[in-house]
Amino acid sequence: MVGMGQLSDAENPGYKSQMPALVDIPEEEIKVLSFWESHKTFKTSLKHSIGKRRFTFYDGPPFATGLPHYGHLLAGTIKDIVTRYAHQRGHHVERRFGWDCHGLPVEYEVDKELGITGPHDVEKMGIACYNDKCRAIVMRYSSQWERVANRLGRWIDFENDYRTMYPWFMESVWWVFKQLFDKGLVYRGLKVMPFSTACSTPLSNFEAGQNYKDVQDPAIIVSFPLDSDPETSMIAWTTTPWTLISNLALCMHPDKVYAKILDISKNQRFILLKARLASLYKQESEYKILDT
């Protein structure tokens, strides 16, 4: 089969096709990666774009105390697309990889290794010694990260990486905070947060959200008779009936369809969301729709 704009072998006698009948895709990928590495393709592209308009991009930073997962692969692919596109648009795009070296993930790994159960153990061994232990393992899986990123075909600079534990990085963060403070953009407030007694620190919103689960919970249905028609009631579903005494109004969605029904067994008329009829009644014979 000849594609558009191509010459067949008969039309171009001097051309001999090099395309094999079967292609080993993984092997071809390895060949491409080897070619990029031997020719320093990524570094060369950066060198040729020096002096052009900068496209600033900071990659990461993930924790190097754990292995990359599919979420990292997806995000990394998107980042690679964006930076390659910016480069092809004529920008100079440094792609320095970064590492998050602070926080509980690193401390958690050290605590497991040393058998630390609380802050008193840290104070006993000394904070300086504890920090040294954290620094020693913070880049534990960096080689695996680099291997996965390269195998994925990403162009990224691991040699000039940045790490949040570098003093210059921390000082830059404090400098930014100072600028915000001087402009009156920082305030002190109170907020209810889930707290870890073991770590002696609040949990982040992300960590708190990870523990969200759908569970079975007791619920009741409350009827609210209409002033204009006491024989007909609006019904509402709630798992927190103790809050009803403080309720001021019963709200209805302006774009939803409600149904006025006759409950056959109770011989009472109710108004509820039509889409929720199946949740309240197991069979359609248990009610009769009077109006919508």
Each of the 292 residues of the chain gets a pLDDT tens digit; together they read: 344 445 455 555 555 557 777 888 889 999 999 999 999 999 999 999 999 999 998 887 788 788 888 888 999 999 999 999 999 999 999 999 988 888 788 888 899 999 998 888 999 999 999 999 998 888 888 889 999 999 999 999 999 988 999 999 999 999 999 999 999 999 999 988 888 887 778 877 776 777 777 888 888 999 999 999 999 999 999 998 999 889 888 889 999 999 999 999 999 999 999 999 998 898 999 999 999 8
Residue partners of 224: CB distance under 8 A and separation at least 6 = 233, 234, 235, 236, 250
Query: Beta 195-196 vs 201-202: how paired, if at all?
Result: antiparallel
Q: Six-digit token pair at 145?
A: 């990260």
End-to-end CA distance of the chain: 62
**What is the reported pLDDT for 103?**
79
Q: What pLDDT digit, counting tens, does each position of 61-107 carry?
A: 788 788 888 888 999 999 999 999 999 999 999 999 988 888 788 88
Report how many helices (DSSP H) and strands (DSSP E) the chain contains, helices first: 10, 10
Omega into 194 within 30° of 0, i.e. cis? no
- Which amino acid is located at 254 in the chain? P
Top-tier CATH class for 25-101+138-185: alpha beta
> What 3-state DSSP class applies to 35?
helix
- What's the predicted TM-score (pTM) here? 0.59
CA dist 154 and 81 (Å) reads: 9
**What is the reported pLDDT for 21?**
79
Residue range(s) occupied by CATH 3.40.50.620 in the chain: 25-101+138-185
Helices (H), the chain: 25-39, 41-48, 70-88, 104-114, 119-125, 127-137, 142-151, 167-182, 205-210, 277-280
